[in-house]
Amino acid sequence: GNNAYNYFQASTSFVFTELIPENAILNYGKFRLNYAEVGSSAPFNALADQYVKPTAFGSVPLFGIPGTKNNDNLLPERTKSYEIGMELTFLDGRAAFDVNYFNSETVDQIIPVAVSTATGFSSKYVNAGTVENKGWELTLTGTPVKSGSFKWDISVNWTRIRNQVTELY
């Protein structure tokens, strides 16, 4: 009953340099904003318990239970993320700056967690946790040489990502 999920995404941008007079320094400027949600279903055969059939012992067929207890109450794993950024181009395209902040949160992660073997299983599938990923990305681009059909571009990228488990089973 929990096996349906939808994907949502919205993205918008605003080129603010369309509203200001042209100048020799700032040639292009844009703000952008994105939001998305994606889902992921449980692994194959993780919802209903089923017998497994290992190799027969001689002519005697064998059946048993798997080592992981399945769970028909699993919710789909979901990731919700947003991103805010700005692009700037200067000096007739000779220099550019791009900054971006991003944040994503994955909830209801489907993980087999260890359980007491007295249950007959060694693990059980559960919605086990929430993980948050956030960070910054900066890119500087420059064109030190531009002559005729020859152009030399240089880009430097810096990224800072922080991951944190915020909830655990």
User: What is the full DSSP assignment across the chain?
Assistant: -------EEEEEEEEGGGSS---SSEEEEEEEEEEEEEEEPPPTT-SS---B----BTTB---B--SEE--TTPPPEEEEEEEEEEEEEEGGGTEEEEEEEEEEEEEEEEEEEE--GGGT-SEEEEEEEEEEEEEEEEEEEEEEEEETTEEEEEEEEEEEEEEEEEEE-
Q: Is pLDDT of 87 > 90?
A: yes
Amino acid 72: pLDDT: 82
pLDDT at 66 over 70: yes
Binned at pLDDT 50, 70 and 90, residue 70 comes out as confident
Distance CA 20, CA 92 (A): 16
Q: How many CB atoms lie within 10 A of CB 36?
A: 15
Cα angle at 100 between 39 and 92, to 5 degrees?
Answer: 135
pLDDT computed for residue 53 by the predictor: 79
Percent of the chain surpassing pLDDT 70: 98
Give the lowest-confidence range in 4-13, 32-41, 139-148.
Answer: 4-13
For residue 136, give every residue at least 6 positions away whose Cβ sits within 8 Å of its Cβ, in sequence order, or none: 99, 100, 101, 102, 158, 159, 160
- Specify the pLDDT at position 103: 97
Most distant CA pair in the chain, distance: 87
Is 90 exceeded by the pLDDT of residue 35? yes
Q: Which residue has the higher pLDDT, 117 or 137?
A: 137
Question: Is residue 161 predicted with pLDDT exceeding 70?
Answer: yes
102 or 116: whose pLDDT is higher?
102
What average pLDDT does this structure show over 27-41?
92
Residue 2's pLDDT band, with cuts at 50, 70 and 90, is low
Band of residue 159 on the pLDDT scale cut at 50, 70, 90: very high
pLDDT of amino acid 125? 85
Give 3's pLDDT tier (boundaries 50, 70, 90).
low
